[in-house]
Chain A
Amino acid sequence: MERAGDYDFSTSNEGLLELCKRQDQEALRVLFRRHERPVYSLLYRMLSNHEDAEESLAEVFVKVWRAAGSFKGEAKFTTWLYRIASNTARDKLRSRQIRQEVFIDDSIVDEVGLGERIASPGMDPEKCVLIADERARVMRAMQDLSEEDRLLVTLYHFQECDYEEISQVTGVSPANLKVRLFRARQRLRKLCADDEKEGGINEMRVDTAESSGLQQRVAESL
């Protein structure tokens, strides 16, 4: 067995998977470091919760380790990996429904921390807030999409997969894929627009309540 450090990040995914079959944990570590971000991103967009996404990320790579022998090389490694990730996310969503968990949406709880996560040195703070706001809006809207729509949008827009790859991951025929993706995007856009309107109305309500409170205090002082 090769020792840690005998191969580097230039080794192909398939080569690393071959080593995983022989119980080489170092090979799995390299695969993990190479793909953790895109897989986590997919899981988070599907689950909308960081804790669940991290737990599922671990599950995905444990499955990769155990199923390394079943990889036939008919599809690309990333396609195979995304299929495992999307199935894991679906299982998580189903188990949530069965347990009827009180689901706390990160995009609501963590809005304060979003700016900090996004912010990078030298970035305009106002821009950070705008991006954080947009991100929170999209994440809220994503939750109202169906599982299938969410997966299609995530793979195309966030994971930047091509149509063939999306078709292999989701099982949707290439002929129907464009139409379904277009409809999913339309639904998401509408949900985002509705959310923006509701946000605007709520802000107006807060403003009105504050001003009426002020008016009341002024009236009382008089």
Chain B
Amino acid sequence: MIQPNLLDYSKGSLNRSESQKIKAHTERCERCAVLLAQEVSFDRTLACLPEEMPANDVWALVRVRTKPRRFRPLAALEIMVNTRMRRVVATTATMAAVIGAFFIVNWPTYQPPVLLTTPQVVAVSDEPLAQHTDAVFDVIEKM
């Protein structure tokens, strides 16, 4: 790989063995020697070009677009999403969504489960009441 390294060679940024290899090659290969001169010349041309500068103050535009809002109820959520908590938040949100969806779908037909054991019927004796009735009749007869 001689040609892609020619510019680095001219800048002295190659290691010694690579540098020697290219030096030896350019001494015997006229084509690469010409290419080396072209690379150096073109690199100088590009380096001489001035740095570009914005004509207007763009900061004013950035400032308006990034103006912090005083009341930001979702700010905490945004921060959480941008941190390591996002997996936990995502999992919890998914679980809540699934559970919520289950209840919404089943709500109209939802009934509490029926108990398998039948409730015990307590037999109520009418005996005390009968005794009471007889006593009342006795009192009436004596009158």
Contacts and interface: CB of A to CB of B under 8 A. Distances in A.
Interface of A: 21, 23, 25, 28-29, 32-33, 36-38, 40-41, 44-45, 50, 53-54, 57-58, 61-62, 65, 69-70, 117-118, 131, 134-135, 138, 153, 157-158, 178-179, 181-182, 185, 188-189, 192
A105 to B, nearest CB: 14
Contact of A57 (B6, B58, B82): B58
Contact of A178 (B4, B48, B66, B67): B4
Contact of A157 (B47, B50, B58, B78): B47
A48 to B, nearest CB: 10
Nearest to B61: A58
Nearest to A24: B68
Contacts of A153: 46
Contacts of B43: 157
B54 A57 contact: yes
The 10 closest A-B pairs by CB, nearest first: A69-B82, A182-B4, A178-B4, A58-B61, A23-B68, A44-B52, A41-B52, A157-B46, A65-B66, A61-B62
B59 A54 contact: no
Nearest to B80: A69
B53 A37 contact: yes
B16 to A, nearest CB: 18
A134 B62 contact: no
Nearest to B50: A118
* Dominant secondary structure of chain B at its interface with chain A: helix
A69 B79 contact: yes
Interface of B: 1, 3-8, 38-39, 42-43, 45-56, 58-59, 61-63, 65-68, 75, 78-79, 82-83
A31 to B, nearest CB: 10
Nearest to A118: B50
B62 A28 contact: yes
Contacts of A69: 78-79, 82-83
B68 to A, nearest CB: 4
B49 A158 contact: yes
Which residue, A44, A50, A57, A58, has most C-beta atoms of chain B within 10 A? A58
Contact of A138 (B4, B49, B53, B63): B49
B4 A50 contact: no
Given A23-B68, A179-B1, 13 more contacts: A21-B79, A25-B68, A32-B62, A41-B51, A50-B54, A54-B55, A57-B54, A58-B65, A117-B50, A157-B46, A158-B51, A178-B8, A185-B7
* Dominant secondary structure of chain A at its interface with chain B: helix
B54 A36 contact: yes
28 contacts: A21-B79, A25-B66, A28-B66, A29-B59, A29-B63, A32-B58, A32-B62, A37-B52, A40-B54, A44-B52, A50-B55, A54-B55, A54-B56, A58-B58, A58-B61, A58-B62, A58-B65, A62-B62, A62-B66, A69-B83, A131-B49, A134-B48, A134-B49, A157-B46, A178-B8, A179-B4, A185-B39, A192-B45
B3 A182 contact: yes
